[in-house]
């Protein structure tokens, strides 16, 4: 893995997508190599299954991304909503209901400017460690705010920390909150490495706005499509968006509203469709599958098998328990 990281570092050095030079990475092979590096060290097999369990942007067209902002509203959320709208970009704001007091103006601005208001729970607790009743309350309390500001929906949720499993999904689907689709995961912005960044980690470790923006651009320009994760609760993130957006526009990038990301769009169209307890929702296929169906993730290339409503790792073609396989 050390050798692969070195290779990735060299690729960045020779083909970085930075503010002064723009994107220069355009080969499919490099995209695959980078995926392996990103999903490598430090991730458990449980983490690796996220791609199959949650919605992502891996089916977006080439050079198309969807900007998402979590943990707000913050002091500069309204300013960010204006800035994006002035550049013709529709973002998605995954709010924490507990942060809204005193910032209703930001909520009105998000909706008024045509962005999506989405649910990131009320108190940003890890849903997988809560009781079913608490999971539903975390979603429902913030839903009161969203339903008032955006009464027609759509209803989209992202779990804090990306922590999502079959038990959480079942609790929500057994309540009035079943109108929500998700959880929406991300393709860029998940981790601070030598080739990519997570904004909150940049600010915590003293990485400059300039450098953090360059790392975001590098990850976006390497993968070329996806849902981008940022956090509007941080003032510096607004500065970083203002730094990288003009570069992306100049490079010909298109910005999809989150509700138009294929996996999210399919989920919204099918919202409320009951899923049996032993079925699994496949982000790759965009529909539920039955027990012992095996699917290869479009974003990670890894195989998963549906067992008792939950995805587990599979060897795919050589797994005799797969009754049906969906390879890429």
Comparison of 52 and 71: residue with beta carbon closer to Zn ion = 71
- Phi first, then psi, for residue 18 (nearest 5°) are -120, 165
Comparison of 25 and 95: residue with beta carbon closer to Zn ion = 95
At its nearest, how many Å lie between Zn ion and the CB of residue 27?
Answer: 33
Comparison of 71 and 259: residue with beta carbon closer to Zn ion = 71
At its nearest, how many Å lie between Zn ion and the CB of residue 188?
Answer: 16
Residue nearest to Zn ion (CB): 70
HSE (CB half, 13 Å, CA atoms) of 83? 17
> What region does 92 belong to: left with phi over 0, alpha with psi -120 to 50, or beta?
beta
At its nearest, how many Å lie between Zn ion and the CB of residue 82?
Answer: 23
At its nearest, how many Å lie between Zn ion and the CB of residue 258?
Answer: 15
Comparison of 70 and 199: residue with beta carbon closer to Zn ion = 70
Residue 102's CB: how many other CB atoms inside 10 A? 8
Q: How far is CA 261 from CA 119, 120, 145, 213, in A?
A: 17, 18, 24, 23
Binding residues for Zn ion, per CB under 5 A? 70-71, 160
Cα angle: 263, vertex 17, 242; to 5 degrees? 75
Comparison of 96 and 284: residue with beta carbon closer to Zn ion = 96
Please choose, from the candidates 299, 320, 300, the residue with its C-alpha nearest in 3D space to the C-alpha of residue 57: 299
At its nearest, how many Å lie between Zn ion and the CB of residue 15?
Answer: 31
Residue 327 corresponds to which tokens in the numbers above? 């390879």
- Phi first, then psi, for residue 152 (nearest 5°) are -90, 0
At its nearest, how many Å lie between Zn ion and the CB of residue 3?
Answer: 34
Comparison of 70 and 259: residue with beta carbon closer to Zn ion = 70
Residue 187 corresponds to which tokens in the numbers above? 């393709």
């Amino acid at each position: 893995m050390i050798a692969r990281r070195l290779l990735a570092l060299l690729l960045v050095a020779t083909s970085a997508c930075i503010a002064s030079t723009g994107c220069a990475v355009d080969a499919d092979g490099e995209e695959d190599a980078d995926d392996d590096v990103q999903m490598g060290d430090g991730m458990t097999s449980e983490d690796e299954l996220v791609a199959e369990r949650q919605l992502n942007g891996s089916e977006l067209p080439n050079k198309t991304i969807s900007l998402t902002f979590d943990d707000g509203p913050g002091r500069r959320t309204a300013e960010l909503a204006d800035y994006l709208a002035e550049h013709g970009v529709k973002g998605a704001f995954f709010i924490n209901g507990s942060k809204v007091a005193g910032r209703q103006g930001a909520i009105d601005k998000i909706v008024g400017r045509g962005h999506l208001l989405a649910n990131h729970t009320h108190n940003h607790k890890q849903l997988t460690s809560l009781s079913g009743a608490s999971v539903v309350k975390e979603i429902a309390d913030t839903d009161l705010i969203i339903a008032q500001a955006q009464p027609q929906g759509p209803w989209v949720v992202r779990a804090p920390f990306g922590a999502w499993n079959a038990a959480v999904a079942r609790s929500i689907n057994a309540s009035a909150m079943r109108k929500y689709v998700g959880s929406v995961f991300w393709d860029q912005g998940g981790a601070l490495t030598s080739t990519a960044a997570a904004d909150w980690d940049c600010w915590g470790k003293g990485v400059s706005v300039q450098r953090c923006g360059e790392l975001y651009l590098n990850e976006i320009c390497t993968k070329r499509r996806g849902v981008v994760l940022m956090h509007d609760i941080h003032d510096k993130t607004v500065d970083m968006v203002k730094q990288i957006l003009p570069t992306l526009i100049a490079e010909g990038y298109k910005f999809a509203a989150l509700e138009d990301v294929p996996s999210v769009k399919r989920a919204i169209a099918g919202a409320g469709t009951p899923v049996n307890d032993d079925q699994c929702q496949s982000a790759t296929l965009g529909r539920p599958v039955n027990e012992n169906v095996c699917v290869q993730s479009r974003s990670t290339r890894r195989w998963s098998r549906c067992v008792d409503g939950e995805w587990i790792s599979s060897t795919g073609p050589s797994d005799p328990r797969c009754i049906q396989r969906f390879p890429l």
